[in-house]
Amino acid sequence: MERLDKVLANLGYGSRKDVKKIIKSGEVKIDGEVIKDNNYQLDPIKSTIKVNGEEVTYKKNIYLMMNKPDGVISATFDDYDRTVIDLLEEQHKVFDPFPVGRLDKDTVGLLLLTNDGELNHRLISPKWHVDKVYYAKIDSELNKNDIEEFKKGIILDDGYKCMPAKLEILKADENESEVKVTVQEGKYHQVKRMFQSLDKKVIYLKRLSFGGLNLDERLDEGEYRELTVSELEKLRIICKIC
Ligand code: URA
């Protein structure tokens, strides 16, 4: 059961404050009855909801793809810095979405946000082997030995042995390399620490893809959009959610 004001806010009728006004004005009917109480509890899937005489279809979850900008925290709240939630419009905030896993403050690129706890859990659990692909610039030259180290499983500074990962060298000279890294787990600062274990430093990091979904390059940094039906279906298949 859910509160009527939350249900209407999720349906896109504005902030909780906006929908309270709509409810008070008597424009909302649940199963044929005018309801003026914000706290009215309903099962939004089973109930017939009409606003101004028009029937509306309820949507419980939201799934967003963001191109995360530099300098923003992947969290729902922070005392000092702007968070990815601060970048959302009110109509999306009302769903109470949270970021799926974390990107560091200075990492840019694909970040999924949702309020679907089960999907989130499966996407971030190493058990489901969900690929995360990053583009990185490294402060020095990389070679075939580094590719082998990634394949074997890098040992991090705390002794943890990473799952085998894929390193592709796109460009390399003695001052800098450009690479693509594919990992299936999401330890704290994972990619940076993997290179640190090889005595190299990541100087730029961007996530290109997550669970087979590619970052929509039409999204500028800080922009986001809802996932398409087929993108969501792809994630569900990867996470084996029927
Ligand atoms: N690995 C990192 O080191 N940082 C990120 O933000 C993501 C993966």
CA of 16 to the centre of ligand 1 (A): 35
Among 206, 150, 152, residue whose Cα is nearest residue 178: 206
Q: Which CATH code for domain 63-126+212-238?
A: 3.30.70.580
Ligand 1 pocket, mutate which of 134, 154, 210 (most atoms under 8 A from CB): 134
Q: Report the pocket of ligand 1 as residue ranges, CB < 6 Å.
A: 103-104, 107, 189-192, 205
Q: According to CATH, where is 3.30.70.1560 located in the chain?
A: 131-210
CATH 3.10.290.10 residue ranges of the chain are 2-56
What value, to the nearest 5°, has the Cα angle with vertex 11 and ends 7 and 12?
Answer: 125
Parallel, antiparallel or unpaired: strands 41-42 and 49-51: unpaired
Q: Which atom of ligand 1 is nearest to the CA of 192?
A: 3
CATH class of 2-56: alpha beta
Torsional class of 96: left (φ above 0), alpha (ψ -120 to 50), beta (otherwise): left
Find the 156 Cα to ligand 1 centroid distance in Å.
14
Give the position, in ligand 1's atom list, of the atom nearest the Cα of 102. Answer: 6
Check residue 242 and give its pLDDT: 56
CATH code 3.30.70.580 region(s) in the chain: 63-126+212-238
| Residue 71: predicted pLDDT | 98
Active site residues: 104
pLDDT value of residue 91: 84
pLDDT in tens, 59-95: 889 999 999 999 999 999 999 999 999 999 988 998 9
Query: By alpha-carbon position, which residue is closest to atom 7 of ligand 1?
Result: 103
Residues forming beta bridges with residue 114, ordered by sequence position: 63, 98
pLDDT under 70: residue ranges of the chain? 242
Cα(98) to centroid(ligand 1), Å: 18
The CATH fold of domain 131-210 = Alpha-Beta Plaits (3.30.70)
Strand 49-51: give its sheet, edge to edge: 33-34, 28-30, 49-51, 54-56
